[in-house]
Structure 1
Amino acid sequence: MSADGPVVNVHVLFFAKSRELAQTPRSKVDVPSQIVASDLLDQLVTRFDLASIKDNLILAHNESYIENLSDKILFREGDELAVIPPLSGG
Structure 2
Amino acid sequence: MLLDSGTTLTLLAEPFYTMAKAAVLNQTANLPRVADRGRFEACFQASSGVRSAFPAMVLHFDGADMALPATSCFMQFEDGVVCWVVQRSPSLST
- Does the alignment reach a TM-score above 0.5? no
TM-score by length of 2: 0.27
Query: Going by fraction, where is helix more abundant, 1 or 2?
Result: 1
TM-score by length of 1: 0.28
